[in-house]
Amino acid sequence: MKTTFVCKCGKTFQKNTPADTTGYRLPGYGEGHECYGCPFIIPIYEGWPNRKVTAYECRCSKRLEYESYAQLSIGSKSVGSIYSLDFNFLKRIQDFADKLDGLHPSHEAFSSRPAEYGSDGRYRLAVYPEQNKKGIRAKQLILEKFFNPDGSRKDVSPADEKQIVLRQIEEATAMGKINVGNITAGLNKVKSLTEALSKVSRHEMIPAEYIEPADNNPFAENDTDESRYELAMSIQANGLLEPLVLNKKSDTCYKLIAGEHRFTAIKQYLPEFKNISSMVFEGISDDEAQLKLYEANRQREYTSEQKFKRYRELELLLTRMKESGSYHGPIQKGLAELLGVSTRQVRKYKGILQNLSDEDQQQVMKGEISVDTAYQIVQSQKEEDRQEQVIDDVDDFVSEDNHDQMVNTSITAPVPRENNNTDAAFPFANERKVSIQSGTPTEETAQEEKSGSTSGFSDSYWKSKIEFAIKSHYDAGRLFQFYTFQVPTTAEAIKEVLKPTYGYSGGSVMFPDGVHGDCTCHSSHMDIEYNRKHLQLNYSQVDGYVRDMIRKGRLLTEKEVSDVLSKHLENIDEGE
């Protein structure tokens, strides 16, 4: 009977064995393999004493636990055990233990023996105390420094620890996979880089003295002496699991593309590393190398403010590459992919960059002003000569002295651009007269019931009914706030606010003239019934009506607009 086993990364497979643990063999393991670089891959040896690696495998188990815990038998002289999959954490423990009196050195620590992995998938680090009080005390010190009294890890939840381990696997394997295929899979538009790069990538041992840091590596700004030391100790114990990524400039000059933290750790603390394992690319431009640097660091976690700073750098990079012909396609989409954000967030970054002062932009990058607050500042500073604008000077609303005056201020929104291009951010669209629908309802979509006659669509007849039905069916205040502050494209508005969540919503409507009707939203369209006449609108048309109602001040009254904006600004102040 086959049993399901799970790898450290969460992948599962079935194998016909009753054992609690087993090996998942990796044919063709090496550069380019999907698991290449994973810290949990074990070599399989044959022969003695001249051992030869014949295969590689991942030790797998029926169940998998990521939570670290200590079983140190405090008060006794017995061997203790620490179970974890966070090798960096285990290395810190081992470094601490090596400095204590009362412990025997462990010659098997961080070995690649399959037996070191238990039935729950975790690695076991053994602690060998001397058979005296010093040994007992040493185990106690390890527990006090790294664990809670019950043996659980300090300051890290099980859920967080799982993410730590998965991120370590992801980062370790990412470097083994870096090639243009990964970049084009995300951007899908980098011209001919596959041909230019894939042919020259190779693994080499490069003399450390030939390697130079990248001219511009924004990801190294948070590296510290402490982090470099910890990384160096890990490399010393486990070897360099992730090769550096280099761009060969000459026979004696290799520029770092990725791996500066590892390289500086080796240079500073491991002078015995004369030659360093590296993935070498040759013949790529500085811009292409910079793009690979961003791709290599794409999985890191950044604040919204740090992403804004990256946006400024990446926009210049992709613009240069597009002008040179090495990048095709929308720059905005490429930016969103590399930053790991939505295209809507990219539009916010663009609005801030184009409209906020350099001083305020610096405050955003330092985290002194949030991106959302900066975007509100941008909206408040739009030219006063716009015929209609989303916010008529947000500063008036922020000022307590002008709050009462705000209630009597007429505020309307500009009309959106006619196309749905994602660059057409709603608040910054040019004023123009446009059709209020994306396609006018035709005779076939504006039919009476079978008992009635068919007539052509009359905008003058239906417009007021459509607008009243929209206001009756939706939360008008929420619509106004969403369209004004979220800057949606038509597709985003349809998905997030217009279409019903579960495919259907609706009810009866009492129109202002006393006629009973109905408004029903389906997964693909809205149906409106008035005086036995039926009209069907697709959601692009509904979106057009909503934007027109906002632009012309018919969605909300002036007082309702003021209330919505006041509440929104209060929420911003509370968030700050």
What is the percent of the chain with per-residue pLDDT over 90, rounded to a whole number? Answer: 13
d(CA 556, CA 480): 8
pLDDT bin (cut points 50, 70, 90) of residue 15 is: confident
What pLDDT is stored for residue 109 in this prediction? 56
What string of DSSP letters covers 363-377?
Answer: HHHTTSS-HHHHHHH
- Give me the pLDDT at residue 288, please: 76
Report pLDDT for 410: 34
Q: Is residue 471 very low, low, confident or very high in pLDDT (cuts 50, 70, 90)?
A: very high
| Model pLDDT, residue 382 | 54
Q: Which pLDDT tens digit goes with each residue over 268-324? A: 899 888 888 888 887 677 777 777 777 666 655 666 667 777 777 778 778 877 777
What pLDDT is stored for residue 453 in this prediction? 34
- Between 152 and 575, name the one with better pLDDT: 152
> Over the stretch 29-42, which tens digit does the pLDDT of each residue have?
876 788 877 888 88
- Lowest pLDDT segment from 4-18, 374-388, 501-515: 374-388
The pLDDT, as a whole number, for residue 436 is 34
pLDDT value at residue 465:
93
Neighbours of 187 (CB within 10 A): 23
Most confident of 158-162, 188-192, 221-225, 384-388: 158-162
Tens digits of per-residue pLDDT, 316-333? Answer: 778 877 777 767 677 777
Indicate the range of 124-128, 132-136, 452-456, 554-558 predicted with least confidence.
Answer: 452-456
441: pLDDT strictly greater than 60: no
94-125: per-residue pLDDT in tens?
888 888 888 877 655 555 566 778 888 888 88
pLDDT of residue 88: 80
Cα–Cα distance list, 8 to 31, 270, 405, 450 (Å): 20, 30, 62, 64
Read off the pLDDT of each residue in 196-205 and give the average, rounded to a whole number: 56
pLDDT at 237: 82
Q: How confident is the model at residue 196 (pLDDT cuts 50, 70, 90)?
A: very low
**Average pLDDT, rounded, for the chain:** 75
Sign of the dihedral through C-alpha 75, 77, 83, 86: positive
What pLDDT is stored for residue 445 in this prediction?
A: 39
More confident residue, 53 or 535: 535
What's the CA dihedral at 150, 154, 160, 166 to 10 degrees?
A: -90
Q: What is the mean pLDDT of residues 218-233?
A: 79
Helices (H), 188-224: 193-197
Calpha distance 539→494 (Å, rounded): 6
Percentage of residues of the chain with pLDDT beyond 70:
73
| Whole-number pLDDT of residue 408 | 38
Cα first-last separation, the chain: 59
| pLDDT score of 304 | 65
> Phi then psi for 30, rounded to 5 degrees?
160, -170
Confidence (pTM): 0.35
In this model, does residue 236 exceed pLDDT 70?
Answer: yes
Domain boundaries, the chain: 3-61, 69-157, 426-569
Report residue 417 as tokens.
């651009």
Mean pLDDT over 368-386 rounds to 67
Quick one: pLDDT at residue 209?
92
Mean pLDDT computed over 372-379: 76
Q: Can you read off the two tokens belonging to residue 569?
A: 């600004």
Judge whether 402 and 325 are in contact, CB under 8 Å.
no
Q: Per-residue pLDDT for 451 more than 80? A: no
- Residue 468 contacts by C-beta under 8 Å, 6 or more apart in sequence? 509, 511, 512
Element (H, E) at 278: strand 275-282
Q: Which two tokens stand for residue 218?
A: 């924004």
User: Which residue carries 């004369």 as its tokens?
Assistant: 274
Confidence of residue 191 (pLDDT cuts 50, 70, 90): very low
pLDDT category of residue 215 using cuts at 50, 70 and 90: confident
Does the pLDDT value for residue 469 go beyond 90? yes
Do the Cβ atoms of 90 and 147 come closer than 8 Å?
Answer: no
**For the residues 362-377, what does the mean pLDDT come to?**
78
Inter-residue contact 152 to 69 (CB < 8 Å)? yes
Would the pLDDT of 576 be above 50?
no
Q: Which residue has the tokens 């790898």?
A: 7
The mean per-residue pLDDT over the stretch 568-576 comes to 61
